[in-house]
Amino acid sequence: MAAYFFDSSALAKRYVAETGTPWVQGIVDPSAGNEIYVAHITLVELASAIARRQRAGDLTSGAVAGALSDLLSDFVSEYSILQITAKLIGQACTVAEKHALRGYDAVQLAAALQVKAAYAATGLYVTLVSADLDLNTAAMAEGLAVDNPNTH
């Protein structure tokens, strides 16, 4: 078993076909036995991203409805969700300033760092999966293992 923290840019690939989709689907497939962590805000970010794809004409209304239905079902049954707490927001402010990250990217990084800290005592590590280059650079500077689904 491995532990992964997915940001929205990577997890979107599970619900919308794009570069890296087969690789992401392999990791998040429950039969793979991986632990998948997400920040609670990821639900909103993905719902927004999927809806925007319809508005842009990239997805039909049926495809959007299916993707959103799958997302809602998976979110409650297949992911370990990190709640947005005052402590996490404080840590997000710190990493936002330190790495000049966008707001939600800072929240994603802070959440991934909390998962990393929880695993540190076990000797296991967590991999941040993200297609966002700025977030990946900041995560590596913070000592996180990073994998970009766009390279698969």
In total, how many domains does the chain have? Answer: 1
> What would the mean pLDDT of 75-86 be, rounded to a whole number?
97
- Containing structural domain, residue 76: 3-151
CATH number at residue 91: 3.40.50.1010
pLDDT of residue 99: 98
Sheet holding 3-6, edge to edge: 80-82, 35-39, 3-6, 126-129, 145-147
What is the pLDDT, as a whole number, of residue 150? Answer: 98
- Per residue in 125-150, pLDDT (tens digit) is 899 999 999 999 999 999 999 999 99
Return the pLDDT at 123: 84
The number of helices, as runs of H, and strands, as runs of E, in the chain is 7, 5
Q: For the CA atoms of 90, 96, 101, 105, what is the dihedral angle to 10 degrees? A: -10
Whole-number pLDDT of residue 115: 97
Tokens 């690939």, located at residue: 13
- Is residue 124's pLDDT more than 90? no
